[in-house]
Structure 1
Amino acid sequence: MSFKRIISIASVVIIIGVSIYAYIMYQKVFSVNTKFSESEVAVYIPTGSDFNKVKELVAPYVEDMDRFEMVAEKKKYPQNVKYGKFILTNGMNSNDIINALRWPVPVKLSFNNQETLQNAVGRIAQQIEPDSLSLLQAFTDKTFLEENGFNEDNVLSIFIPNTYEFFWNTSATKVRDKLIKEYRKFWTPERVAKAEAQGLTPLQVSALAAIVHKETVKNDERPRVAGVYLNRLHKGIKLEADPTVIYSIKKQSGDFDQVIKRVFFKDLVIDSPYNTYKYEGLPPGPIAMPDVTAIDAVLNPEKHNYIYFCASVTNFGYHEFAVTPAQHEVNRQKYVAWVEKMGIKR
């Protein structure tokens, strides 16, 4: 066999070998390597994780871990692990998966209707990496509170219910700093001016809005309820708001999970600065996280002469309003009779 013939055969063999190797590599890198039925799945990689931890987290979604590891090594991913939330799409190949794990996506963080700071941070901790303890420590840090004009009684005012974008592994202090920035943004000069027109500061608006929020779930009624409380404040009359009594009971017992549907006369004397039957003016802080409709109701109250209101027994969910004690007593007796008929004990 001639030398040229040998060279030709060797060249063909090499080309075939290279082609086979290229095909194998192509298969390893670019063939589908997912094994979940959903259109996409989220993978959460905690701060400080190494490549072994990443492999553990993605294993339920990857068909061939050897292919995944080979591509990861080729792309030097083990030396550059990223932390956060990542989205894997059904049908991804190993190359796609590694690329996806390099780009964390934000989470939509939301909260509302929380009665305490502890509940608020607990709700947030369910959605991002920092735990509730680290969040609680961030929001009650003395330096933070002093520098921003808050205290532990009114710090819940910072939380304006909405949906916010955060990266999943955002630190507790950065979450806090973002929310205080959003709070400042919410309190525009226009809103501050409206608060001042009512003789209130933004923090006082939040405290009153929390009561309005608890009194009625009807957004269209909130400006009227807010008007009642502002009338009482301006006349120097105690607010006498049942939700503040309920909050006082929960706070003293330490049980905010209890359901209290009825307030009795014996409850009205509970000695708590939040009890507006016992103490004049606003409570030291919000008794819940008021939503924006309640805040704006205080800033844009209905103008009227009502001083009293009581739950309606004919238009459920709404209230009957009164100017005089006699009118209010008629409405109150109707409500008491309905409560007794329904057998509501607490």
Structure 2
Amino acid sequence: MRIENDPKLDFRDVLIRPKRSTLGSRSEVDVHRTLRFAHTGKDWTGFPLIAANMDVVGTMAMARALLRHGAMVALHKHYGPDELIAFFREPGSANAFYSLGTTQADHDKLARVHAQSPIARICLDVANGYTEKFVDTVKATRAEYPDAAIMAGNVVTGDMTEALILAGADIVKVGIGPGSVCTTRKMTGVGYPQLSAIIECADAAHGLKGLVCGDGGVTVPGDLAKGYGAGADFMMLGGMLAGHDECEGDIRYEERGGEQVPVAMTFYGMSSDTAMKRYSGGVATYRASEGKTVEVPYRGPVEGTMQELMGGVRSAMTYIGAVRLKEMPKRTTFIMVGSQLNTVFGS
């Protein structure tokens, strides 16, 4: 047993210090990036945000909506082969990642879909990216799909970030326990503050020309800006995109003025009782639930939320003089704080 004494920070622990700038307006900044996938040599250009591969959020409808903003979606794992084949034949579907785990059934389904509709982006997603089996799966997937961009995770340390990139991942997904409906830290005591995880994993990845995606912990648009400032090439959102028309959660209605009005939508973690009952017949006897089920307010189309997210990032860039999004890490200075918000009239 050992104890590390140097501080590890979360989004709530810091603010970004403003800097003198020649920028006169938020309209002068560019929130898009061009990123190169190391193992394929192919470039991607867009707003580097990815909707999480949770079955409520990682939907085909969400992919179509986010395409208008240059953002991407990691589709959830539970679509059938025929649905996926039809979707990946659509124009613009290349902004979606095909998500799967490590089982043979997962990879057999991918092979079937790929044979009918070639897959350009693959997300290898497990809760614990520290196993040798997972590293071997990344290697095998890279060998089988040499032209696909592969995102793999989740991990929170530089050593495993390097291992996954060397195994064939173009993007490493960073985050253990920061999600709004994840209870891994509560149930296992395992995790890592998300801001420090992004900083350390980005440093390791960029030395190998790899990329990182910060997955989880974003509660307000300012956290998204902090993630990019910390070195994240992509940021992945779950709860921030829940509750919209493009989601697939159950909707609760209330009667108002004689009409049934949507007021809330179900949102749950993919290791929750709800998810495991839906897809696995219940929680296996050798494990415990590591997610929760909640209701989030119904928020209509995702368009308004995307405007807030992108607008917040633009404003942050203006405060620090970053004309292009890729400049944010060089222009960002974090200051540690005891509190961030004045909540006298609520949070």
Q: Please give the range of the TM-score, normalised by the shorter of the 2 chains.
A: under 0.3
Larger CA Rg, structure 1 vs 2: 1
Q: Which has the higher contact order (CA 8 A, sep 6+)?
A: 2
- The structure with the largest strand share of the pair is 2
The structure with more helix, counted as a fraction of residues: 1
TM-score of the pair, normalised by structure 1: 0.22
